[in-house]
Amino acid sequence: MPELPEVETLSRQLQEKICSGKILATEVYDDKLAGIKNLKGRIVTAVERRGKTVAILLDDGNFVLIHLRMTGRLFWQEDSTRPKHSRWRMTFAAGNIFLIDPRRFATIKILKNAESESAKDIFKAFDLKAFLKNHGSRRTKVKSLIMDQRAVAGIGNIYACEILHRTGIHPERVAATLTKDDWKKVFRQAKVVLKTAIKKRGTSISDWRDLYGCKGENQHELKAYGREGKRCSICGGTICRIKQGGRSTFFCPDCQK
Binding positions for Zn ion, rule: CB under 5 A? 232, 234-235, 237, 252, 254-255
At 205 the three-state DSSP class reads coil
- Kindly give the pairing relationship between strand 73-77 and strand 63-67: unpaired
Active-site residue 3, yes or no? yes
Cβ-contact 242, 231 below 8 angstroms: no
Name the β-bridge partners of 95. Answer: 92
- Main-chain phi, psi angles of 238, to 5 degrees: -115, 130
Looking at the Cβ atoms of 32 and 230, the one nearer to Zn ion is 230
What is the smallest separation between the CB atom of 221 and Zn ion, expressed in angstroms? Answer: 17
Looking at the Cβ atoms of 10 and 222, the one nearer to Zn ion is 222
Nearest to 204 by CA among 55, 3, 8, 53: 3
What is the smallest separation between the CB atom of 214 and Zn ion, expressed in angstroms? Answer: 32
Looking at the Cβ atoms of 27 and 254, the one nearer to Zn ion is 254
Q: Which is the catalytic residue, given 42, 52, 141, 201?
A: 52
Q: How far apart are CA 104 and CA 117, in angstroms?
A: 21
Looking at the Cβ atoms of 222 and 252, the one nearer to Zn ion is 252
Active-site residue 221, yes or no? no
Active-site residue 171, yes or no? no
What is the smallest separation between the CB atom of 184 and Zn ion, expressed in angstroms? Answer: 21
What is the smallest separation between the CB atom of 237 and Zn ion, expressed in angstroms? Answer: 4
What is the smallest separation between the CB atom of 175 and Zn ion, expressed in angstroms? Answer: 22
CA distances from 82 to 21, 53, 75, 100, 248 (A): 21, 23, 11, 9, 36
Active-site residue 104, yes or no? no
- The conformation of residue 203, written as its DSSP 8-state character, comes to -
Q: Which is the catalytic residue, given 184, 185, 223, 247?
A: 247
Cβ-contact 203, 223 below 8 angstroms: no
Type and span of the H or E element at 43: none
Looking at the Cβ atoms of 145 and 252, the one nearer to Zn ion is 252
Catalytically active residues, by annotation:
2-3, 52, 247
